[in-house]
Amino acid sequence: MSFILTLLTDELIKKYYSAGFWRDDTIYSLVRGHAERTPASFALRDRFRRITYRELAAAADALAADLASRGIAPGQRVSVWLPSRMEGVIALLACSRNGYVCCPSLHRDHTVAEVIALLQRTRSAAFIGQEGFGADAQRRDIFAELSSLAFMRHVYRLAPLISSPEREARGGEGRRAAPGWAALLPPTPDSSPPLRSASRWEGKNVDVAPKQDPNQIVYLAFTSGTTGKPKGVMHSDNTLLANACQLAQDWSIGTDSVVYSLSPLSHNLGFGAQVMALAVGGELVVNDLPKGASLVDRILETGTSFLVGVPAHASDLLSEMRTRGLNGLGRLKGFRISGAAAPRAVVAGLLERGIIPQSGYGMTETCSHQYTLPNDDATRIVETSGRACPGYELRVFKADDRDTPAPAGEIGQIGGRGASLMLGYFDDQAATEDAFNKDGWFMTGDLGSLDADGYLRITGRLKDIIIRGGHNIHPARIEALAMRHAAVARAAAVPIADARLGEKVCLAVMFHSGKQVAPAELLAHLDAAGLSRYDMPEYFVSLDEIPLTPNGKIRKRDIVDWIAKGRVSPEPVRWQAKQATA
């Protein structure tokens, strides 16, 4: 048995069980229940395969038995470095079944060195990876380097899923579809035999009873690390299910729903969509479309009823619908858009076509606890991040004193607590303690305000505040207003050092293809939209590309670095009131 220090207490267990937000279910037990009640119902779908709940549960049981036969003990970590594919879902269920800790937040943009470092931090006992995956796969082979990890008990090596047309497009290079899990899943079209026996489950059939405690750690996810060393966030089945089940209830997602996650399953947004779909017995569609393929066609083909993604996904979808003259999209009725605020024009365009955007707020530490509701109006969808769901509560604290609540409507630090809150940071007592104020509220590091109805308005990160001569400027408001301009695709407000005032605001903009706006016109737009003249940008730079993290957040640090290194040269701009009437 591997022991992990967490924040779980008898008091928390009593509180959330008595309120009904925590139950005796695990993610695996819910899937097993669906398999027994409706075995032929579809559970998972990708471009190559579509499997039922009976097949999914059987695959999870087989992997769990094989892991046990390799000597993996409850509490030990199983790391997963895969693109979005069915095997990642199976790995989560096997961990939920046997009491292992699933570590799936190894991303496509990670290097081999970064993954090795995370494996060492977690002391992972098993690794499931795909050949040729990762940022530097052309130069380094993760599988060749795993042998140096003394604590690693077993490695599962999967081949990429490649269809014949794709193989031909590559000039015959690459292997035909060979998942290497042929004993567990239906074969892919045009599949060849497994490449090597090490790819399949070959351990002895070890009979391990499913775990009964949904309060054990099942999910260990690392924060994005865009501002420093990633922290390992720990969740139990119960903390994950508390939010997933409530969101499903509020948006009428059930057994007949098809949830399509455009966000990678390795990221918290996609991971949450996965848990939600499986918890209620719906079908999860994995986003593995090749570049250039039609998202509209895939949504119609799969009968998708609820989408999960980031603003860029929403913009792309709306653009394709407009190009094709579509006023609706089959069964699609809801679209959770997270990671950043969706532009007003995109929200309006989706609503006109019968698709209700869900604006939300959440973190790896808290899950997707905050969201708008299906009957909220467009203004709330655009301007707020919704209300906290039942089982979670928010409070705003003074920006300069996280132990003192802020007056109603005042911008301050956002604190939260509830049934979906993490159980601490892995092997990091100092970070865990620092994350909470004296009264036990988790401090998000975000700034915002709550209106009288409990709807949250995000104004930025505490660390993102730009301080100009002692005046606090919130970048998120500038960015949100800039994004309302029809020519602006992305916007980021970043600081530029100033000898006299300390910092000034630089507005970095990426325009839509074929569109361009003069800085003076953009400043006039900000003024007309209500931006204070004291918050006006004093520098401007147009970028061909504003980089995003895989979960849709702007990488501001890159822009700041480019400016500091002289790669881009912002031009000084100055807002003058007469511009508004010129």
pLDDT in tens, 19-30: 999 999 999 999
- Which tens digits make up the pLDDT trace of 71-92? 999 999 999 999 999 999 999 9
SS3 content of the chain, % helix, strand, coil (to 5): 30, 25, 45
Average pLDDT of the chain, as a whole number:
89
pLDDT band per the 50, 70, 90 thresholds, residue 192 = very low
pTM beyond 0.75: yes
CB environment 132-148: b (16+ within 10 A), e (fewer): ebbbeeeeeebeeebee
CB environment 344-374: b (16+ within 10 A), e (fewer): bebbebbeebebbbbbbbbbbbbbbbbbbee
Q: Tell me if 422 sits within 8 A of 233, measured CB to CB.
A: yes
The pLDDT of 455-469, averaged and rounded, is 85
Work out the end-to-end distance of the chain between its first and last CA atoms, rounded to an integer number of angstroms: 73
Picking from 197, 199, 195, the residue whose alpha carbon sits closest to that of residue 176 is 195
SS3 486: coil
Picking from 25, 85, 95, 99, the residue whose alpha carbon sits closest to that of residue 51 is 85
pLDDT band per the 50, 70, 90 thresholds, residue 581 = very low
Q: Provide the total of helices (H) and of strands (E) in the chain, helices listed first.
A: 17, 26
pLDDT band per the 50, 70, 90 thresholds, residue 328 = very high
**Domain 10-448 coded CATH 3.40.50.12780:** yes
The pLDDT of 289-317, averaged and rounded, is 94
Would you say residue 365 has pLDDT above 80? yes
The larger pLDDT score, comparing residue 443 to residue 230, is at 443
Burial class of residue 14 in the structure, from the number of CB atoms within 10 Å of its CB (0-12 exposed, 13-18 middle, 19+ buried): exposed
Distant-in-sequence, close-in-space partners of 404: CB < 8 Å, separation ≥ 6: 397, 398
Looking only at the bridges linking them, the beta strands covering 154-158 and 126-130 are parallel
Q: In this structure, what token pair is assigned to residue 558?
A: 């890159």
The larger pLDDT score, comparing residue 43 to residue 5, is at 43
Q: Tell me if 568 sits within 8 A of 284, measured CB to CB.
A: no
Q: In this structure, what are the phi and psi dihedrals at residue 175, rounded to the nearest 5 degrees? A: -100, 155
Strand order of the sheet with strand 217-222? Answer: 154-158, 126-130, 77-81, 101-103, 217-222, 232-236
Q: Tell me if 292 sits within 8 A of 265, measured CB to CB.
A: no
The larger pLDDT score, comparing residue 199 to residue 348, is at 348
Spatial separation of the C-alpha atoms in residues 399 and 163, rounded to whole Å? 54
Spatial separation of the C-alpha atoms in residues 302 and 43, rounded to whole Å? 12
CATH class of 465-580: alpha beta
DSSP 393-445: EEEEEETTEEEEEPPTT--EEEEEEETTS---BTT-HHHHHHTB-TTSPEEEE
SS3 171: coil
Q: Compute and round to an integer the Cα radius of gyration of the chain.
A: 24
Would you say residue 100 has pLDDT above 70? yes
SS3 304: coil
Would you say residue 578 has pLDDT above 50? yes
Sign of the alpha-carbon torsion through 372, 376, 378, 379: negative
Spatial separation of the C-alpha atoms in residues 283 and 254, rounded to whole Å? 9
SS3 294: coil
Picking from 351, 359, 349, the residue whose alpha carbon sits closest to that of residue 308 is 359
Q: Tell me if 69 sits within 8 A of 206, measured CB to CB.
A: yes
HEC letters along 239-290:
HHHHHHHHHHHHCCCCCCCEEEECCCCCCHHHHHHHHHHHHHCCEEEECCCC
Measuring CA to CA, how many Å separate 181 from each of 62, 87, 187, 335?
10, 8, 9, 32
Spatial separation of the C-alpha atoms in residues 371 and 384, rounded to whole Å? 9
pLDDT band per the 50, 70, 90 thresholds, residue 414 = very high
- Which tens digits make up the pLDDT trace of 214-241? 999 999 999 864 445 789 999 999 999 9
Distant-in-sequence, close-in-space partners of 541: CB < 8 Å, separation ≥ 6: 506, 507, 508, 509, 563, 568, 569, 570, 571
Other CB atoms within 10 Å distance of the CB of residue 160? 18
Most confident of 93-97, 138-142, 464-468: 93-97
The pLDDT assigned to 488 comes to: 95
- Express as a percent the part of the chain with pLDDT over 70: 90
Domain ranges of the chain: 10-448, 465-580
Lowest mean pLDDT among 190-194, 366-370, 451-455, 536-540: 190-194
Q: Tell me if 286 sits within 8 A of 265, measured CB to CB.
A: yes
Most confident of 190-194, 388-392, 408-412: 388-392
The pLDDT assigned to 175 comes to: 40
pLDDT band per the 50, 70, 90 thresholds, residue 165 = low
Spatial separation of the C-alpha atoms in residues 197 and 201, rounded to whole Å? 8
Looking only at the bridges linking them, the beta strands covering 77-81 and 50-52 are unpaired
Other CB atoms within 10 Å distance of the CB of residue 499? 5
Would you say residue 327 has pLDDT above 80? yes
The pLDDT assigned to 301 comes to: 97
Spatial separation of the C-alpha atoms in residues 464 and 214, rounded to whole Å? 37
pLDDT band per the 50, 70, 90 thresholds, residue 358 = very high
Q: Which residues pair with 335 in a beta bridge?
A: 307, 357
Q: In this structure, what are the phi and psi dihedrals at residue 155, rounded to the nearest 5 degrees? A: -125, 130
Same fold, 10-448 and 465-580: no
Q: In this structure, what are the phi and psi dihedrals at residue 333, rounded to the nearest 5 degrees? A: -125, -25
Would you say residue 381 has pLDDT above 80? yes
The pLDDT assigned to 207 comes to: 79
